[in-house]
Amino acid sequence: MPHTQQLQHMRAYFETGITQPYNFRKHQLLLLKKTILKYEEAIMDALFTDLKKSREEAYSTEIGVTLSIINDTIQNLHRWMKPQKVSTNLLNLPASSTIYKDALGVVLIISPWNYPFQLLIGPLIAAIAGGNTVVIKPSEFSVATSSLIEKMMTEIFPPQYVYTLQGEGAAVIPPLLQSFRFDHVFYTGSVAVGKSIYKMAAENLVPVTLELGGKSPCIVEADAQLAVAAKRIVFGKFLNAGQTCIAPDYILAHASIKDALVAELKISIEAFYGNDASMSYDYGKIINEQRFEKLISYLKEGNIIHGGQYNKSKLFIAPTLIENITPVATLMQEEIFGPLLPIMTYTSTAEAKKIVQEHKNPLALYLFTTNKATEKEWLNNTAFGGGCINNTIMHFTNKNLPFGGVGNSGMGAYHGIYGFNTFTRLKPMLKSPNWFNPSMKFPSFKGKLGLLKWLIK
């Protein structure tokens, strides 16, 4: 069936209203949860095939996170859907004011390859909770996981409700957006592709959520607790072999503690992954040869002070620390998205801020300090999507925090109620009683200026 015809069936299915009731939405979420539990082992196997994720990493960063999202959504869905009463201004009393949460319609979710299960199913949960019909486009690079997702979706959902679209994104997405007006597009991936999708969506005024990336800085101040900082930086950077959109992209270390920090980083890398990370149970692989070659090209742009080993046949690149990088190096112009960690130094906050501003609007910012004034200085004067103080990446795991970018790192947010809000539209309504209909509210208004000023103040 041509995609356009399929999408028209999805529109017709949505317009029947079947996806709107609370019980329907809840039932679909319960079905999805049951299916994830059924396929838990298969999901782990697929993630190992695509990215060499250990069972523990696959569960904690993909399956477990997704189940947590479903549980939270099921628990709160009725409250989120409930119309919200708000106060009414004096001019309209004794009317009542209510905000309703409308489903959007037919939505498109395009997901990346680095967390191919969680970053697709998470937004899908929010879209289902919002009462929509959903087209999902898994990444063509995470072949095993994408194929399994299609099998799971086909097993539990009719295609007019949830439809899985496979294929090369550059080939299938443009004609899809050109032939059909979606009610929302949710994209997670690179800045370049995000801009392209935004441009195509704008042709039909389709709203978008863009979860992109950027060069997320990790600032280590002179007063930081270095042993703690090193462990948390190494964990956040080298999880999934560095293929995480919110991984620390580079370190800005105060010059006075740089050498001590490097020593602690080396200790943590070896403690986590051993002397040969290629043999580590906990260390993943690069997604494909194209990404591998790109990452290898960065190695010559600075001095390697730890790691640097690689094996193309295994798509392995060791956890690597690099110093003496020039600001114009490609390594500092592009999001790395791999296990290479540049380390730069600064001597003043102004100097550090200048470096961050050269890569403005990062998706995340991480600050290690014990000084509250320093915290305030960075938080009040730097634009970034989200982040942590004295930690890395863990803000993503808190469903009570919105997750999203700013400027070049994206627009819109999701997680928890923020995801539900993304896939619904607020519809404000004012309800006026018939029994109260004073003449002062209608023409002629001559001589009523004083009264109108009092009413409208």
Active site residues: 211, 245
With 0-12 / 13-18 / 19 or more C-beta atoms within 10 angstroms meaning exposed / middle / buried, residue 24 is: middle
CB distance 109 to 102 below 8 Å:
no
**Cβ count within 10 A of residue 148:** 22
CB distance 408 to 114 below 8 Å:
no
Residue 447: which region, alpha, beta or left (left: phi > 0; alpha: psi -120 to 50)?
left
Residue 15: which region, alpha, beta or left (left: phi > 0; alpha: psi -120 to 50)?
alpha
Contacts of 441-448 with CB under 8 Å at 24 or more apart are none
With 0-12 / 13-18 / 19 or more C-beta atoms within 10 angstroms meaning exposed / middle / buried, residue 243 is: buried
Q: Which amino acid is at 251?
A: I
Point out which residues pair with 186 in neighbouring strands: 109, 209
Backbone angles phi, psi at 427, to 5 degrees: -120, 105
Q: How far apart, in whole angstroms, are the C-alpha atoms of residue 304 and residue 288? A: 23
Closest CA to 127 of 117, 137, 135, 118: 135
